[in-house]
Amino acid sequence: MTTTTADTAATESDYVPEEPGFWSRLFHLWPVKLAILIIVIIWVIPTLGVLITSFRAPAQVQETGWWTVFTNIGSNEWTLSNYSDVLSSEGFGNAFLNSLSVTIPATVMPITIAAFAAYGFAWMDFPGRQWLFVLVVALLVVPLQMSLIPLLRLYTTINLNGTFPALWLAHTGFGLPLAIYLLRNYIGSLPSSMMESASIDGATHFETFTKLVVPLSVPVLASFAIFQFLWVWNDLLVALVFLGGEPDVRVVTLALNNLNGARQQAWHLLTAGAFITMALPLVVFLSLQRYFVRGLTAGSVKG
């Protein structure tokens, strides 16, 4: 009895393929890996140079290239003073708060309004439902440059220029087409049997929307939120036109642009400033990449 088991075990183990060793795994497909490594290095180096420079002493930044930190390891002077200078005397600290004040409401407001509209387009009956949605699809690609001049005039007459609400509203308007499009595609693909049973149970449209549709749509709401957050945070044009460069309201992109204009060769400040503007979007992006990719592919690959 025991011998038989041992025998079968032995024969079975004969068929187990040998685990490839570390080196053979490393060099498997090496031309592909080499090509990928080269592209990755090219893609990372620009950002790496900025990151390293932002921590170097100002005198050293002007004297030697950032890549020499790898060869003259002994004589490097590292400092945080570039960051403290940029945050306080160049006003990036205030600009960072301004950017948050602009971005968070300008991300949340279009989502609420677009979610209601997406539900209406997907599940309610009204005249012009089809062609109004086609209009939304068409508006997806209208350059926002078309809106700048008339909106600036409108804002001037109601005295809204240079205020945060001006940007909240403008970004809400500009973000709506994509938001409605993405959300309607998702909300429209929820099973109709579910909607009907909710209706039979006596739920109104409003209840179906808040208690059923919104909880089920969290992934697509998240992916649009990331889009809009990155877009508003990184925007320069809309902020330049409607907010202007006044230090008390300007956002980080404007602060960086002004620094770039005023101190062309102050690389220790420019690199630190650039990194301050990048930090939050990079964190948001890298931690929520999954949702972002899902939103991108849902928006483009379908069909």
Partner 1 sequence: MSERAAFEFEQADGIEPHQTFGPEYKGPGPNLWTQVLRILVSVAIPLIAFGILYWAGTVVLDEDANRVLVVAVALIIGVFGVMFLFYAMDWLVNRLPERYRHYVLPFVFVGPALFLLGVFLLYPTIVTFKLSFQDRFGEGFVGFQNYVDLFTDTNTLEALRNSILWVIVVPALAVGIGLAFAVLSDKLGSKGEAFSKSFIFMPMAISFVGASIVWRFIYNFRPEGFGDQIGLLNGIWSGIGFEPVAWLLQEPWNNFYLMVILVWLQVGFAMVILSAGIKAVPEDVLEAARIDGANEFQVFWRVIIPMISSTLVVVLTTIVITVWKVFDIVFVMTSGEFGTSVVAERMVTEFFTNSNEGKGAALAVVLLVAIIPLMVLNVKRFQAQEAQR
71-90 residues in contact with partner 1 (CB under 8 A) are none
If one counts every other C-beta atom within 10 angstroms of the C-beta of residue 177, the result is 19
Stretch that binds partner 1, among 71-79, 83-91, 101-109, 216-224 (CB under 8 A): 101-109
In the bound complex, what is the minimum distance in angstroms from residue 21's beta carbon to partner 1?
A: 16
Shorter beta-carbon distance to partner 1: residue 74 or 303: 303
Residue 27 in contact with partner 1, rule: CB under 8 A: no
Main-chain phi, psi angles of 56, to 5 degrees: -90, 155
Q: Is 33 in the site for partner 1 (CB under 8 A)?
A: yes
Q: Which is nearer to partner 1, 33 or 84 (CB)?
A: 33
Longest dimension (CA), the chain: 96
Is residue 287 a contact point for partner 1 (CB under 8 A)? no
Q: Which helix (H) or strand (E) holds 303?
A: none
**Contact between 46 and partner 1 (CB under 8 A)?**
yes
Nearest residue (CB) to partner 1, 77 versus 165:
165
52 binds partner 1 (CB under 8 A): no
Q: Considering only residues 117 through 146, tell me which ones interact with partner 1, judged by CB under 8 A.
A: 117, 119-126, 129, 132, 134-146
Does position 112 bind partner 1 by CB under 8 A?
yes
Spatial CA neighbour of 277 closest among 245, 254, 246: 254
Residues 6+ away with beta carbon under 8 Å from 281 = 229, 230, 233, 234
Residue nearer to partner 1 on the CB measure, 75 or 192: 192
Rounded Cα gap, residues 152 and 163, in angstroms: 12
Q: Which residues pair with 56 in a beta bridge?
A: 78
* Residues 6 or more apart in contact with residue 221 via CB below 8 angstroms: 111, 115, 183, 214
| Residues 145-204 contacting partner 1, CB under 8 A | 145-151, 153, 158-160, 163-165, 168-170, 172-174, 176-177, 180, 188-193, 195-196, 199, 204
SS (H, E, C) 80-128: CHHHHHHHHCCCHHHHHHHHHHHHHHHHHHHHHHHHHHHHHHHHCCCCC
Using rule CB under 8 A, residue 223 touches partner 1: no
Whole-number minimum distance, CB 137 to partner 1, in Å? 5
CB–CB of 125/195 below 8 Å?
no
124 φ/ψ angles, rounded to the nearest 5 degrees: -120, 155
Whichever of 6 and 97 has its CB closer to partner 1, that residue is 97
Q: Choose between 72 and 81: whose C-beta lies nearer to partner 1.
A: 72
Q: According to CB under 8 A, which one of 182, 243, 249, 266 is a site residue for partner 1?
A: 249
Residue 69 is a binding residue for partner 1 (CB under 8 A): no
Count how many Cα atoms sit within 13 Å of the Cα of residue 41 in the half-sphere of its side chain: 6
Q: Does residue 277 touch partner 1 according to CB under 8 A?
A: yes
